[in-house]
Amino acid sequence: MHTQSLSVTRVGVLAILLALALEVDGRSSEDCELEYKPRSGQSGKDVIWVPTDDSLVLQMLDLAEVTRADLVYDLGAGDGKIVITAAKRFGAKAVGIEYNPQMVQLAQCLGDVAGVADRVRIQQGDIFESDFKDATVVTLYLSPDLNLRLRPTLLDMAPGTRVVSHTYAMSEWKPDKEASTDAGRAYLWIVPAKMAGEWTFEQRSGTDKFTVNLEQTFQELRGTAGQSHAQLLQAKLQGSQVDFTFKDSRGCTQVAGWAIGDRIEATVTRNGRTSKYVGARTQMPAIRR
């Protein structure tokens, strides 16, 4: 009799736990808004809050080519729509930084409802005091002034980091791409490597070498090469990938390489012959911003 009573008790406890689990799993976004429902246009710490249209959220994440390998940070996350979409539709891990603690709670709830709590984290904090240097993608919907305040921090992130902004650009830092929907416009920047300075390229299996002086303004490169100070042609920089051409007394030289700090691993074609070179920076002037 005692054994049967214990068994019934266990069944009852399990039933209660199952009911509670089903209640949690059955929550909706409306349930999340019972305690706090934000209003479009309400004041925030530095900007007013206006929700981003779903179509533009997808456009922003598409523009950044977000994948499962990415860690997306949304600065000023609001209700968490961007990070939740990054996790649910693109499989990425995502972190939202939001100043309003009520918004943080709402975004966490909406993430739970969307089934992405294991890949989404919403943290309360000031974006100018938060550490997001491990991001591979940063999304913004702030203001022109705040974008410019953030710009130095963004430019110090790892080369290749993608930055996407809804509506507002970055002044002289021109976007690498842009796209639009009926709901608005999105801009993409790819954080460039710091390339300014004097570089000496030496052939790996040979004795050839040449010097290049690079000047940089954001992702734009210009400069000279060789003893004749030949002007660089078709100079391009995207993240860590650098390409340029110059012509001197030896003919046409094409350089295609990847920068890693003060080193460039390059494939160089000179007069139709291609071989591997290593570039080393000997001087690094300040980058103009």
More confident residue, 123 or 48: 123
The 10s digit of each residue's pLDDT in 74-127 is 999 999 999 999 999 999 999 999 999 999 999 999 999 999 999 999 999 999
| CATH 3.40.50.150 placement within the chain | 29-190
Question: Which residues, listed in sequence order, are joined to residue 225 by a DSSP beta bridge?
Answer: 212, 230
In three state form, how does the secondary structure of 28-91 look? CHHHHCCCCCCCCCEECCCCEECCCCHHHHHHHHHHCCCCCCCEEEEECCCCCHHHHHHHHHHC
Q: Which residues contact 146 (CB under 8 A, 6 or more apart)?
A: 46, 47, 140
CA–CA separation, 27 vs 18, rounded Å? 14
For residue 4, what pLDDT is reported? 43
How far CA 173 is from CA of 91, 170, 217, in Å, comes to 30, 5, 8
User: What percentage of the chain has pLDDT greater than the value 70?
Assistant: 89
CATH T-level topology, domain 29-190: Rossmann fold (3.40.50)
Domain 197-283 has CATH 2.60.40: no
In three state form, how does the secondary structure of 195-212 look? CCEEEEEEECCCCCEEEE
The 10s digit of each residue's pLDDT in 176-186 is 999 999 999 99
Summary mean pLDDT of the chain? 90
Q: At 271, is the pLDDT very low, low, confident or very high (cuts 50, 70, 90)?
A: confident
| CATH 2.40.128 placement within the chain | 197-283
- DSSP class of 248: E
- Is residue 211 pLDDT above 60, yes or no? yes
